[in-house]
Structure 1
Amino acid sequence: MHGKSSPVLLYVRPVIRVSAPPVDSPRLLRRHVADDRRLTPYERCRRAVASSSSDRRAAVDKIRRDAKRSDQRQGRVILTVAVMIALLIVGGAAFKPVKDWWDLRSLNGVQLADIGAKASVCGPRSFKAAQGDQKHVDPGTFVDYSAEPSPPAFGEHELYPDTIRRKLYTEKDRPRVEMLVHNLEHGYTILWYDDTIAKDGKQMDDLRGIAEKFQGTDDFRLKIKLVPWLKADGKPFPAGQHVAITHWAKKVADEDEKIAKAAKVTAEAGVWEYCSAVSGDALKKFMTAYPYFNSPEPSAA
């Protein structure tokens, strides 16, 4: 028989936890003080400078980060404002051409004679013996046309005319009168309009419609200018008249010979026709009677 086994006793060694003294404990502080005392004055100075430099770098880095964020915010604001201004400028610049195109749709396919009023709004043509052929002045030189009816249909003029490309002008961009008189010498018909027409949106649309009929540069039959006559330019048109059509003719048209002879005009002549409103009908009849080649210098552009 087996005897009873004796019990096995296990010995468990107790674990003693030793916590580190707190950072601000007197013992640890005394150790730091003792360590500092062992440092030389030079080493203590270096430690203080290093600690101070680290603090300064941290402060400078924070300032830089804050400044960078501020610059980024400011940059986004400036960019947004710039984009908005650009959109307003582009939109404003595009508005007028788009509006003009929209307003002119009704004149697409319309004949010149059907634009504006009928020729009955215009009076009879008037004539005066012309002079000033080949008499040029320097650009910018003032020429007094006050002795002749307004606007001028002949006379001394600037050395260079305006180009054939542009047809319609406003007060802001019209060439000088002296330059336009040179265009008359080259066979251009000029339709002058006063401030009453300039303030009338419908009649300005009619002028734009007329200008569209004469677009081009390679056909001298397109020699026409539609320009404003300003108060500063000289005498106003006759009472009740707001449009003047002028031409510098080499000779008076056959249909106007009787009127011209009564005015004692037998050679080169200035021709005027005044109207109370814009009339494509009157303009067509005028340019048929006085084409570009009936002028002192028809072959010049």
Structure 2
Amino acid sequence: MSGSDEDHTDGEDNVFLNLVARVIRKPLYRFPGQWGHETYEPRIYRSLGTILRNATSEEFDAFIMDFIHFARTAQARLDMQFYMEFINVCTNTILHWVFARRCSADIVRKLMERTSVFLQDQTNNLAIAWRCFTPIYSPSPVGGVTPLMFVAQNRQYDVLKVLLQYGMLEKERRPTYIIISVLFNPPRLEALDERCHATVTRELRDCMALCFRVLSHVSMSDIEMQIGYGRKPLIEDWRDHIPPSRYKDPCELTHLCRMVVRTSLLARGRLPDGIKSLPLPTLLQGYLNLES
């Protein structure tokens, strides 16, 4: 983080420091241990929701920088149990608004720009793209999912593309399950009301094609197992939308080269920004960045 970033978040105007003060209604260094997070979670949700509901990408950038600064410095000021509970509630609220409510690729890109550096350590509080979240105050069965899984389940193509550009699918231990989420998870009723079935089907096919720009192999047995369990794919011709080179034929050499380069950049924490520094034509840089 640059010095200017640190300066931006210093001082009493930090959103989260101010929120702590309002939540506990006491000085930061004294916290009544008998309180539980259920006491202040609604206040956090309302306060952060007011900010995130209509925030521009620039405003969100300042917001997430406040969160990063708070997470890195407030631990020394607060009771450890309260600090962890507060961070968890804030993280859940942020992910809920970013992925379940706003669904904006620009907002997600800002989130990844600021937090992808922390993804190498999944235990880091700021590796929030790894964290599971729940759609708060919503009786939804998708509670407790990672952002990537949630986006795949809801086939948010533009947001999915951002997450994949930052290497989130390469980091998955069972990447075929992302394909399964795209292929089997039915759309929410309100989403189906807003978009016709043909649109949902097109989004499904586009999201699957996007994932195949990352993967070299898909486990057909895992997909067929879901059908054996009684689940029904959202499209009948699903096999036609999985390239043979992803499950039976040799994979394309160009794609294997893309995987090697992306894996190397990902290991260095330079994906996708490092692509621009490679001595390659613009067309090949776009290919590496999953544009085609």
Instruction: Name the TM-score, length of structure 1 as normaliser.
Output: 0.22
- 1 or 2, which has the higher strand percentage? 1
**Which of 1 and 2 has greater Rg?**
1
- 1 or 2, which has the higher helix percentage? 2
Instruction: Name the TM-score, length of structure 2 as normaliser.
Output: 0.22
Question: Of the two structures, which has the highest relative contact order with CA contacts closer than 8 Å and spacing of 6 or more?
Answer: 1
